[in-house]
Structure 1
Amino acid sequence: MAADHSIDAARWRAMFDQAMARIAGRFKRVEPRATARAFVLALLSGVERKNCWRLAEHAGHSRPGPMQRLLRSSRWDADAVRDDVRAYVLEHLGADDGVLIVDETGFLKKGTASAGVQRQYTGTAGRIENTQVGVFLAYASSRGRALIDRRLYLPDASWCQDAERRTRAGVPDQVEFATKPTLARQMITGALDAGIGASWVTGDEAYGQDPGLRALLESRAIGYVLAVACSRRVRINQGRTTARADAVADRLPASAWHRQSAGAGAKGPRYYDWAWIEIGADRHRYLLIRRNPSSGELAFYLCWSPRRVPLSELVRVAGTRWCIEECFQAAKGQVGLDHYQVRHWTAWHRHITLAMLALAFLAALAADATPARAAQPSRPIRSTGPIDLTVPEVRHLLGALLNPTNSSPRMLLHWSNWRRQHQATARRSHYRRRLASPSTG
């Protein structure tokens, strides 16, 4: 193993014990505490589909009941565990260059009973689908990135104003309609109040268009680089006139553009042409413009900082926004963020929170195994030796180091029979319902 890569099975087990000890006090009884540990351990396993049935089978349980109770009826506070996850991420990934990133992701669903589900646009599918939408906050630094908060978006007319539907899905009475930028403001405020040491916030157009979010960040002296539409009007000429962002870009001379990298991508540095102009009169407010060198496509960002910063700093923060997309990909692909089969409000938040803990643990292991990365975030590509440990590779290694299989042939057959029996019951129920109402479907 290369000298700057440290894989120590005993240390990784100890770090897992420490991570679970951090949340142990949130569970007053021994059974849910042990089940939560088994749940997270199974999320970190190579189980293909991480729902309660599969997680229970992996844990060596004879039925999914304990896992289902953990998500639905056991007494524990998912928001308190969320606070523990946030503190854990800061402890292991915190750095001076930390950035908070806000974005949303969709969870495709069937039916109408899952909390917050309706036909709505989701970037996950790139179109309108029957889906739940979660708004998330991520923290990213040179040491790694992880999700630190979450909110389930509850549509107004179809959910917030339907008392019967809310009751069936377990939506608390105090939950009211909130726009996605409002949910973002809540999460950012919570992170800052908790001591998250980030100097910047970034997000896409859905959040850049919200004046309340920008005002909040300025009042907290937190800089921002937030995407906006090309039609956004900005103040130029020291605030004396306004113009559309795309019209401003069209008038820029060739000397205004600077080619810089927005960070490392899967295939190397992500180079774009960048331009910036001061807007307003306080000399800390900018319109940042990104141009694709190949296609000429433009993107626009409203930027503010409590102090003067170079263009390279704004470019760095703008490029950091993609870290949350990588978090979504890793969380869904590695720890089953979207594998749940629950409908209840509480169960959704509990599953998501435990998946966030699993992802944070993977990110902490990756950072711990490559300590030189924090000291040299821009070190050149090595000509020999392996790349730094990635979250997927760490998760793969954990399958052998922390997750020895509990499945004997007898247990495998038990679960096969159990699943097929329940599937038969469900099939009979569906057939009876269809036969009773032959005109439907």
Structure 2
Amino acid sequence: MQEWTPEEVASLAEVLVAYHQHFAPLFYRREQREWAALYLRGLLTTNVPRKNVEAMALRLLGVGPHAERHVRALQQFIGEGKWDDDALLAEHQRLVNETLGEADGVLIVDGSDFPKHGDHSAGVAPQWCGHTGKKDNCQAGVFVGYASRKGATLLDRRLYLPEPWFAEDHQTRWQDCQIPDEITFQTKHELAAQLVEGIRASGRLQAQWVACDEGYGDSPAFLQRLDAVGLWYLAEIPRDTKVWPLLETDGQTKRALPSSWVRPQVSSRKGPAPRRARLHPDSPAKVTVEELAKQWPASRWQRFRLLEGHKGPLVADFLVLRAILPLDRLPGPEIWVVIRRKVSGSAEEPEWKFYLSNAPPETPLATFVRVSGMRWPIETCFAECKGELGMDHYELRFWRGWHHHMTMVILAHHFLVRWQQHLNQREGDPAPGDYASLAHPR
């Protein structure tokens, strides 16, 4: 986000009041509406170094005789308040469509982790923490963002509850954190799929694509759920992912018949129950996508100039191929394999990225190039939310409090996106983060 003049900051306060009115009717009581407005102001305040409840309340309401009561009331509102996050996020997604929506918009799936001391907050456990780059004591959140040519913001969130929290020795902690009884264990992949499915089913937001890193792209079940709701995914995958390539001869794709690779189930009146279908011994061997990438001559690659994040221009070579994706060790759907090789001036091994996509066979290469650059905007959203909006400053123990806080941060971030868009339109500048202007052949 850019620096603003004092006049722009003054206008910002008035616009924030109007923005809050989109959500005010969705709170059950007048006091909740007022505390929500205050919390949003606190998250957006620039001169509060650490935006926990106490700091925001004291900064905005003063340190007079009622200060302690104000802090408790704001703490209760965000930590335990019985207001409906889903209703607010539904209205938020409608506004995002108004601000950023495009027919080929991209839903972005990613996680963000929050290091924590102690073990009393909901979901805290020793687990992989992206913030510290190692296994650490933290809370893990699953998020869905949105990006288009107009910009990017966050849409929804869910706290991941690790399996140990469902054991009997965690029941007291479960109750202390006020975790709803109906919560069942779900993997991060399952949480992400559920969020995407909900957004898709609502029809509130235009989107055609889903982008994710290999932390989610490595799950065939997750990709199948995206395909089932009519979304096209471009999912990063590990380099050792295996596929059956569809070979080309004389410029034509040789269409293999996967059904001929499979032996049917065998049954016998006297023998055991039918055996599971299995590959025919003469079926072709699978190859890793890394091996596949190295088989193709330089003439098959196309070079593009990309613009990714704050790193400036990036030059990369792209190759797209058709292949069969294995599912449960048998031939699955025909998909795209998209390979990106960063062009470097050094003699070091090039940086590779590998993707799978269920996009239609006629999808042009330039579309894959554009969408491949549409995952990183969620990283920018996380950086802005943590650096400017106190996303990781919360001191909340309860399940409801974590989700309430993240909801308010999401609303605050989109407010800044809308305001920045307004300023750019007024000045005649392009949208901030014109993520589509990155597929330029070289």
Does TM, scored on the shorter chain, surpass 0.5? yes
From 44, 51, 69, give the equivalent of 2:76. Answer: 69
Residue 297 of structure 1 and its aligned partner are, at CA, apart by: 2.0
Following the alignment from structure 2 to structure 1, what is the Cα–Cα distance between the partners of residues 383 and 432?
Answer: 26
Aligned to 1:103: 110
Offset from partner CA, 1:418-440 (integer Å, 9 cap, x none): xxxxxxxxxxxxxxxxxxxxxxx
From 87, 93, 114, give the equivalent of 1:86. Answer: 93
Tell me, yes or no, if structure 1 residue 204 matches structure 2 residue 213. Answer: yes
Larger mean CA deviation between 30-39 and 289-298 belongs to 289-298
- Does the aligned pair in 2 maintain the 1:259–1:271 contact within 8 Å? yes
Following the alignment from structure 1 to structure 2, what is the Cα–Cα distance between the partners of residues 261 and 135?
Answer: 31
Residue 29 of structure 1 and its aligned partner are, at CA, apart by: 1.7
Residue 84 of structure 1 and its aligned partner are, at CA, apart by: 2.1
- Per the alignment, do residues 94 and 336 of structure 1 end up closer, same or farther by CA in structure 2, a change over 3 Å counting? same
- Note the aligned Cα RMSD (angstroms): 2.5
Residue 102 of structure 1 and its aligned partner are, at CA, apart by: 0.3
Tell me, yes or no, if structure 1 residue 180 matches structure 2 residue 188. Answer: yes
Following the alignment from structure 2 to structure 1, what is the Cα–Cα distance between the partners of residues 9 and 342?
Answer: 44
Offset from partner CA, 1:187-228 (integer Å, 9 cap, x none): 101111122211100101121122222212222221110011
- Does the aligned pair in 2 maintain the 1:284–1:306 contact within 8 Å? no
TM-score, with length taken from structure 1: 0.80
Aligned to 1:400: none
Secondary structure of 1:119's match?
strand
Residue 374 of structure 1 and its aligned partner are, at CA, apart by: 5.3
Which amino acid letter does the alignment assign opposite residue 233 of structure 1? Answer: K
Residue 252 of structure 1 and its aligned partner are, at CA, apart by: 1.3
Secondary structure of 2:22's match?
helix
Secondary structure of 1:80's match?
helix
Aligned to 2:272: none
- Per the alignment, do residues 29 and 88 of structure 1 end up closer, same or farther by CA in structure 2, a change over 3 Å counting? same
Offset from partner CA, 1:105-145 (integer Å, 9 cap, x none): 11000001110011111211111110000000000111111
- Per the alignment, do residues 306 and 257 of structure 1 end up closer, same or farther by CA in structure 2, a change over 3 Å counting? closer
Larger mean CA deviation between 152-161 and 111-120 belongs to 152-161
Residue 276 of structure 1 and its aligned partner are, at CA, apart by: 1.2
Aligned to 1:226: 235
Which amino acid letter does the alignment assign opposite residue 115 of structure 1? Answer: A
Which amino acid letter does the alignment assign opposite residue 270 of structure 1? Answer: L
More helix by share: 1
Larger mean CA deviation between 13-22 and 221-230 belongs to 13-22
Secondary structure of 2:430's match?
helix
Larger mean CA deviation between 20-29 and 34-43 belongs to 20-29
Tell me, yes or no, if structure 1 residue 274 matches structure 2 residue 318. Answer: yes
Secondary structure of 2:183's match?
coil
Aligned to 1:59: 60
Larger mean CA deviation between 269-278 and 344-353 belongs to 269-278
Offset from partner CA, 1:73-118 (integer Å, 9 cap, x none): 3331122222222222122111234110000011000001110011
* Unpaired stretches in structure 1, ≥5 consecutive residues: 382-441
Following the alignment from structure 2 to structure 1, what is the Cα–Cα distance between the partners of residues 413 and 137?
Answer: 26
Aligned to 1:170: 178
Tell me, yes or no, if structure 1 residue 112 matches structure 2 residue 162. Answer: no
Secondary structure of 1:230's match?
coil
Aligned to 2:430: 373
Larger mean CA deviation between 107-116 and 201-210 belongs to 201-210
Following the alignment from structure 1 to structure 2, what is the Cα–Cα distance between the partners of residues 136 and 338?
Answer: 14
Residue 10 of structure 1 and its aligned partner are, at CA, apart by: 7.0
Offset from partner CA, 1:363-405 (integer Å, 9 cap, x none): 1111122235359958999xxxxxxxxxxxxxxxxxxxxxxxx
Aligned to 1:289: 339
Which amino acid letter does the alignment assign opposite residue 285 of structure 1? Answer: I
Offset from partner CA, 1:244-268 (integer Å, 9 cap, x none): 1111012111112222134343242
Q: Percent identity?
A: 34
- Does the aligned pair in 2 maintain the 1:106–1:124 contact within 8 Å? yes
Following the alignment from structure 1 to structure 2, what is the Cα–Cα distance between the partners of residues 230 and 245?
Answer: 6
- Does the aligned pair in 1 maintain the 2:103–2:206 contact within 8 Å? yes
Following the alignment from structure 1 to structure 2, what is the Cα–Cα distance between the partners of residues 213 and 86?
Answer: 23
Residue 299 of structure 1 and its aligned partner are, at CA, apart by: 1.4
* Unpaired stretches in structure 2, ≥5 consecutive residues: 247-254, 259-283, 326-331
Aligned to 2:304: 260
Following the alignment from structure 2 to structure 1, what is the Cα–Cα distance between the partners of residues 189 and 77?
Answer: 31
- Per the alignment, do residues 265 and 351 of structure 1 end up closer, same or farther by CA in structure 2, a change over 3 Å counting? closer
- Does the aligned pair in 1 maintain the 2:150–2:432 contact within 8 Å? no
Following the alignment from structure 2 to structure 1, what is the Cα–Cα distance between the partners of residues 371 and 293?
Answer: 20
Which amino acid letter does the alignment assign opposite residue 317 of structure 2? Answer: D
- Does the aligned pair in 1 maintain the 2:24–2:33 contact within 8 Å? yes
- Per the alignment, do residues 138 and 121 of structure 1 end up closer, same or farther by CA in structure 2, a change over 3 Å counting? same
Which amino acid letter does the alignment assign opposite residue 240 of structure 2? Answer: S
TM-score, with length taken from structure 2: 0.80
- Per the alignment, do residues 211 and 68 of structure 1 end up closer, same or farther by CA in structure 2, a change over 3 Å counting? same
Secondary structure of 1:308's match?
coil
Residue 51 of structure 1 and its aligned partner are, at CA, apart by: 0.1
Following the alignment from structure 2 to structure 1, what is the Cα–Cα distance between the partners of residues 221 and 29?
Answer: 42
Aligned positions, number: 376
Following the alignment from structure 1 to structure 2, what is the Cα–Cα distance between the partners of residues 26 and 149?
Answer: 17
- Per the alignment, do residues 35 and 375 of structure 1 end up closer, same or farther by CA in structure 2, a change over 3 Å counting? closer
Following the alignment from structure 2 to structure 1, what is the Cα–Cα distance between the partners of residues 315 and 50?
Answer: 37
- Per the alignment, do residues 309 and 197 of structure 1 end up closer, same or farther by CA in structure 2, a change over 3 Å counting? same
Following the alignment from structure 1 to structure 2, what is the Cα–Cα distance between the partners of residues 355 and 284?
Answer: 40
Which amino acid letter does the alignment assign opposite residue 430 of structure 2? Answer: R
Following the alignment from structure 1 to structure 2, what is the Cα–Cα distance between the partners of residues 307 and 201?
Answer: 17
Secondary structure of 2:324's match?
coil
- Does the aligned pair in 2 maintain the 1:263–1:320 contact within 8 Å? no
Which amino acid letter does the alignment assign opposite residue 232 of structure 1? Answer: T
